[in-house]
């Protein structure tokens, strides 16, 4: 995949184009001390309530709305249920 198509800046530009005049802001930015995990939470304020979007940086430097496969098991609720 072309990294320029899923850079955080590219995703931000798409988001702003979609949101139109609605306010968009970054709520949280989290990075691990070793730099391997990075995620961003963005809020779009709408008249009927806000929308929160989470973006995750993958090992190849691209950003997606789903976490890297290696982090999926750490995001599970199963350990909490047992």
Residue 78 in any domain: the answer is no
Q: Could you tell me the two tokens for 20?
A: 């139109």
Residue 80 in any domain: the answer is no
Q: If you count them, how many residues does the chain have?
A: 82
pLDDT at 2: 56
**Structure pTM?**
0.68
What are the pLDDT digits (tens) for 26-42?
Answer: 888 888 787 777 889 98
pLDDT at 23: 85
Total domains, the chain:
1
Residue 74 in any domain: the answer is no
Structural domain span for residue 14: 3-68
Residue 73 in any domain: the answer is no
Higher pLDDT, 25 or 19: 25
Residue 59 in any domain: the answer is yes
What are the pLDDT digits (tens) for 59-74?
Answer: 888 888 888 877 665 5
Question: Using CA atoms, how far apart are residues 70 and 60, in angstroms rounded to an integer?
Answer: 13
- Which CATH number do you get for residue 37? 3.10.450
Question: Using CA atoms, how far apart are residues 39 and 20, in angstroms rounded to an integer?
Answer: 24
Residue 49 in any domain: the answer is yes
Confidence check: pLDDT of 81 > 80: no
Residue 7 in any domain: the answer is yes
Confidence check: pLDDT of 17 > 70: yes
């Amino acid at each position: 995949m072309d990294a320029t198509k899923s850079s955080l800046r590219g995703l931000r530009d798409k988001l702003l184009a979609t949101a139109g005049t609605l306010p968009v802001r970054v709520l949280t930015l989290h990075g691990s001390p070793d730099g391997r995990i990075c995620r961003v939470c963005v809020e779009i304020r709408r008249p009927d309530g806000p929308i929160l979007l989470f973006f995750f940086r993958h090992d190849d430097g691209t950003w997606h709305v789903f976490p890297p496969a290696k982090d999926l098991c750490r995001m599970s609720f199963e350990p909490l249920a047992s």
